[in-house]
Structure 1
């Protein structure tokens, strides 16, 4: 019979469960009530084999369970101080897993850059007058050196996203993507003075991804971490109970930046709005029809009821059109290497490979930084034309 490991502080089991975003019910379903309560109360101890299972499920290394006390880690949900506390329940197990992944990428950035973000201008070092969103939008557009005419020249929303992504990089912000388990969260950001990061839900339409980029950018400008919910009605319904001014300001800022009031006034002046016009304007600015709807509502050109009605009609605009087979599973997973490039971004990939070619990291380390097998690391370099690995 395997021997139980008795020299573990029971608090470590509680800590690991809570920081992983796992509810007590989920843990009971996985381990059983008797074992879970025994481990967390210190009346029962796991075997080494059980500890490996616990560590894998909570996404924590086995060594951490032998700490005398739980480590002091930054609480991302708590740092989203503009988020109503009741709504912080959105940080479930799946989203917490995404946050853990983004944190690991942030740590990678520290290590690969020697702890220093060497961009010429960091967004976290720049002062903005947040009392005037239009002023912030103009200042940011100047910093990015992309005027409205250049924005309108983007041929596709995919191209627009990558252009904005590179602009963010030049301001010290790395943008990552991942496949979230649900579509209720569009993305989030983790504020850090040196290496702020944004993570985008790749399961949504590029138009929504672009909107989320600028929603999260405003969080970083305000020096906060944040989450962008796909359905903002939840937050709007709490406006009388909570101070959600920053969350609403993030949405308004995204719309203000992407569709400047003065330019939209010129484009839409004297023109009747209908579905065709809304789509044309959305294509012009590389945004969703929803953003145009809000702009029309802000300018009192449509009623609130019309806004809500049209939003329901346009819901499908947020989601990619995936082919689904009879079992309900998505067909095809796309090209593995294209997916890795989209998720991690050209800027991060080039950084990691550059450190390898400079002989500052080994091939196994490069594999770890990219979270890819060695043979895939070699193949990706070959496909990108970066030379032998």
Structure 2
């Protein structure tokens, strides 16, 4: 007979569930019990078994011991960081997206331990140009990566990794994760010292490039944020929130596809469907970004642009067909792509110097201790 727990606090069950915007029915289904039974746990009428509490812990992303506390802990809700999103939107974010915000917070703490006090370029916000084109040029100059170099790469994936390393040098830290929710392409947590951008790895690399700069503008504007793929949420935004989101999109588009350079490209060949695809490839962006540029230039109508939105949404998501595994195991290459080479290298440097032990290194790398040797091997094979 399964042993039933006593003393599990139903209030904490409810607090943890609501933290992730989950209904009782969704939570019960994820745990593997019927809704009525789960609600009896929340109401203190029954208690879960040890096995079910372990599943509760996995689903609600909280240690089992927490559910025995007399009252919920005083932990800031990540939704409080999202001033640019109203409650009607933030209260509908999925558990997976909120967990991505929590992961971003854990990276902030890891970076603080790794580097101590390390000021980001964002601490200089008061010196940034206010005009958009000048602001884009300011960051181009700081990154030392002119538009000609971006266009010469002919790979949206390569361009993303170059920008990622440039961001790191400016004190803006970019990580990836599988959000398991394709409604959000990325998010950011604002901070003067350790600002974090998290990219949904399920998005196309072209979309990842755009999201990178959408989130950068959130940070420039001194806000945390999330890039939601579909723009029907705009109806819930107030005037200021709408202004920030539109400014994020406008900045990302202007940075990646500078207007003056784009006008020069348009003169080279007649504009047709193939030419639009070529321009997207040239700038390492999506066809949506090119069409948006044409829309802002009044070359295509709002009706033309809106008619293509469903196609854009589909293009944003990467082809998830299985690819042959590389030697050493796909898991380790994926993990390294999530972490980035600079962060991974600095964690290993601290580990080899004895400043952190294997357990702390594995925590910083969001991996298991027994995976550390293989992760190390794959990392150093890649940097040779």
TM over 0.5: yes
Equivalent residue, structure 1, for 2:6: 5
Name stretches of at least 5 consecutive residues in structure 2 with no aligned partner: none
- The equivalent position to 1:109 in structure 2, one of 89, 108, 111, is 111
Aligned length, in residue pairs: 376
What's 1:294 paired with?
Answer: 292
When structure 1 is superposed on structure 2, of 219-228 and 48-57 the one drifting more is: 48-57
Shift of 1:305: 1.7
- Distance (whole Å) between structure 2 residues aligned to residue 309 and residue 3 of structure 1: 56
> What is the CA-CA distance between 1:97 and the residue it aligns to?
2.6
Q: Does 1:376 align with 2:378?
A: no
TM-superposed deviation, 1:241: 7.8
3-state SS of paired residue (1:126): helix
CA–CA distance in structure 1, aligned partners of residues 26 and 161 of structure 2: 38
Q: Work out whether residues 104 and 196 of structure 2, in 8 Å CA contact, stay in contact via their aligned partners in 1.
A: yes
Q: 1:113 to 1:22 in 2, by over 3 A?
A: farther
> CA-atom RMSD, angstroms?
2.7
Q: Structure 1 residues 264 and 377, CA, compared in 2 at 3 Å: closer, same or farther?
A: same
Alignment correspondent of 2:121: 122
Alignment partner, residue 279 of structure 1: 277
Over 3 Å counting, the alpha-carbon distance change for 1:309 and 1:54 in structure 2 is closer
Q: Is the 8 A contact 2:218 2:224 kept in 1?
A: yes
Please show how residues 110-259 of structure 1 align to structure 2 within 5 Å: 110-114=112-116, 116-117=117-118, 121-127=120-126, 131-232=130-231, 234-238=232-236, 243-259=241-257
1:128/1:221 contact within 8 Å kept: no
Q: C-alpha distance in 2, partners of 1:238/1:304?
A: 21
Listed as ranges, the gaps of 5+ residues in structure 1 are: 324-329
5 Å-filtered alignment, 1:342-381, equals 342-381=337-376
Aligned residue for 1:292, secondary structure, equals: helix
Task: State the distance in 2 between where 1:11 and 1:240 align.
Answer: 33
Report the equivalent of 1:326.
none
| Aligned with residue 338 of structure 1, among 333, 338, 348 | 333
Shift of 1:123: 2.0
Equivalent in the alignment of 1:56:
58
Shift of 1:374: 3.9
Distance 2:69 2:89 in 1: 32
Structure 1 position 189, deviation (Å): 1.0
- TM-score, length basis structure 1: 0.87
TM-score scaled by length of structure 2: 0.88
Deviates more, 1:361-370 or 1:205-214: 361-370
Match of 1:24 in 2: 24
Residue 130 of structure 1 deviates from its aligned partner by 7.4
